[in-house]
Every structure is written in C-alpha cells, then in structure tokens.
Amino acid sequence: MKRFHVHVHVNDLKASIAFYSKLFAAEPARVEADYAKWMLEDPRINFAISTRGEAAGVDHLGFQTDDAEELAELKARATEADMALLDQGETSCCYARSEKHWVTDPQGIAWEHFHTLDNIPVFGEGSKEPAAAQAPACCAPTSRGKPVGVAVKPASTCC
C-alpha cells in the first residue's frame, strides 16, 4: 500500500511542530534540528517539514511505497506515460536511505517516488554541511517552475 508524502519548507521549526502536532493530534515520529516527520495512518500520509529549501511552502509531493515492487510499478507507469524521469537509485537524504526516482508535473512541481530502506542519523550521507544549512529538502531535483528532464542532475548536494 502506498503512503502519500508531502514535504513543506517552514521558517520556524518549533512553532510548526507545535502547530502540526495539534492539527494531527499526534507527535512527530522523528524530530531533528532542521526536520520533523509524522507517519500518520488516518489519512495514510508521510508529512515532513524542514527548514531547508528556498521559500516557505510545499517543497514537493510524492508516494512512499511499502516495497520495491510498488516502486517499480510507479516507475513503469511514469515511463509508459512518457514522463521525464530522474532515477536517483539508492540515495541517502532526509535522514533515510531510500531507493527513489522523480517526475515533474507541467507546473514544475516535483513528485518523489521512493521506498525507504533504512533510517540514517544525518540529513544526507556524504554531506559535510551543518544540519541547519539551507540545502533543498530531500534532494528535490527542481527549482519551482523549472521542470527537470531525464539528463538533469539534482540541484542538491546531499544526494
């Protein structure tokens, strides 16, 4: 079963954690100095916030899969629909090691399709930047309004 994913860039993490904890009637499943995530069951959503990104607001949307087969299905669907696809393969970002790929809608909104393999203790392995540095959230391969093509590399240094 897939889980809807939303990642929002916020300016004040502490105030946003308080707000969303009240809104969801639940505490985050993970909190870091620059990041928080709720894994809600009703509705089934992976809702993440971070202080990383260019501007406050929705950074990207996506689907988190429970297994590799579901991820392969999403990839095949995107390929069959002739969508520009950026395949990152296995990557470490947003405090997780995941297998992922990206598609971008006609407005330039990045959609992340991923299967989480493991949690990691840092935002992105291989990154030497401090935790609160202003790098793009979860290695989204686009800037707002700029669609990405197959050959384009992610703008982030974390992946």
DSSP string for 104-158: E-TT--EEEEEEEEEE-SSSSTT--S-TT--PPGGG-S-BTTB---TTPPPS-S-
pLDDT reported for residue 140: 65
Dist. CA 121–CA 138, nearest whole Å: 14
pLDDT reported for residue 67: 93
Is 91 in contact with 102 (CB distance < 8 Å)? no
pLDDT reported for residue 50: 95
pLDDT reported for residue 8: 95
Which of the residues in the chain have pLDDT under 50? 127-137, 142-159
| Token reading at 121 | 């203790």
